[in-house]
Amino acid sequence: MAKSIGMIETMGMVQATKAADAALKSAGVRLVGYDHTGDGRITVIIEGSISSVKMAIQTAKLMVPGVTGAIKTE
């Protein structure tokens, strides 16, 4: 099974927590951590199978306004 890393960018810690919660509850992904990228932006980093990461990012985008996401496969 190929592993993927997903990054979900948010504005502020509250949005990051909501996005992480939605992502983790929707698919079999693991929270790697948070990255404070400046200007109030926080990136939530998750990992799992390609399909799980895609599902988690899509769910976070639907549940939390203003969220963007990207996926990298290994």
pLDDT of residue 74: 63
* Residues paired with 52 in a beta bridge: none
Of 43, 37, 41, 39, which is closest to residue 57 (Cα–Cα)? 43
Q: What is the pLDDT of residue 1?
A: 62
Q: Are 6 and 47 in contact (CB under 8 A)?
A: yes
Q: Please check whether residue 18 is in contact with residue 73, taking contact to mean a CB–CB distance below 8 angstroms.
A: no
CATH number at residue 41: 3.30.70.1710
Instruction: Give CA–CA dist 49/12, Å, rounded.
Output: 27
Tens-digit pLDDT profile for residues 14-36: 999 999 999 999 999 999 999 99
* Beta strands 3-11; 41-49: pairing state: antiparallel
The domain tally of the chain equals 1
Q: Which domain holds residue 9?
A: 3-73
Tell me the sheet residues that pair with 7.
45, 70
This prediction has a pTM of: 0.89
Q: pLDDT at position 17, please?
A: 96
